[in-house]
Amino acid sequence: MDLEEKIDLVAKWIVDSKKLVIFTGAGISTHSGLPDYRGPNGVWTRRDKNLPPPKSLPWDQVKPNAAHNAIVDLLKMGKLDYVISQNVDGLHAKSGIPFDKLAELHGNRHFMKCLSCNTKYTYEEIGWDKRIWGNGYRTDSPRKNQPICPKCGGRVISSIVNFNDPLPVDELEEAINRSISSDVFFVIGSSLVVYPAAELPLYAKQNGAKLIILNRGEIPLKYNPDLRFYEDIMEVLPPIVNAVKKLENISV
């Protein structure tokens, strides 16, 4: 199939779907000015070559792009069950995906969370000043007089999941359940090498979902997707959503 035929086929699958789950990695945010990790000019790729990190926009200038907005359009059309993201940039939430439709498995750089009751707070809500109390990572030693959870008095930490940190249990369990019950599972911009998140597409496929993977880099052979895209995300995702709109008789 050529690209247009593949786009039309995915659009039909989405229209017929009852439980579409979208799984995103760093590749979806590159058009927002953020580097990916394992692409040709990615953070880890350059690190392994002893090169400095790629240039990135300041965080306060980073905004959702057309790919994030296309996913929101699917939600508004009632065609999206859930979004699972490995990204900490918070762009899905900024674009309009509500937290009850979103699992941020590696955290969100804009939020802290209570270790006792899992309540999330922005840094402003909790009164956390990084100049005084640092980043607040799980592995950081607590500092004198740092803010505590106003709800239960528990320790508040950054929601970002660093290497060797446990994933948030509640969001991981929800992501697993949504993956197992999905009928179309669409991977966008992920190299599928970071576990346990990378297991989720396999759960979906093993339980009968159509698996679509959109990523320019190589992926492990075990995924064996039903449909594979190698093109730039902007050449694929917004056109798919426009094709869904046409099938649903919604003006593009």
* Angle between helix 233-247 and 66-76 (nearest 10): 20
Asked if 68 is an active-site residue, the reply is: no
Strand partners, 102: 83
**Do the Cβ atoms of 137 and 130 come closer than 8 Å?**
no
Strand partners, 148: 155
Single out the catalytic residue among 31, 68, 92, 106. 106
Residues assigned a catalytic role: 106
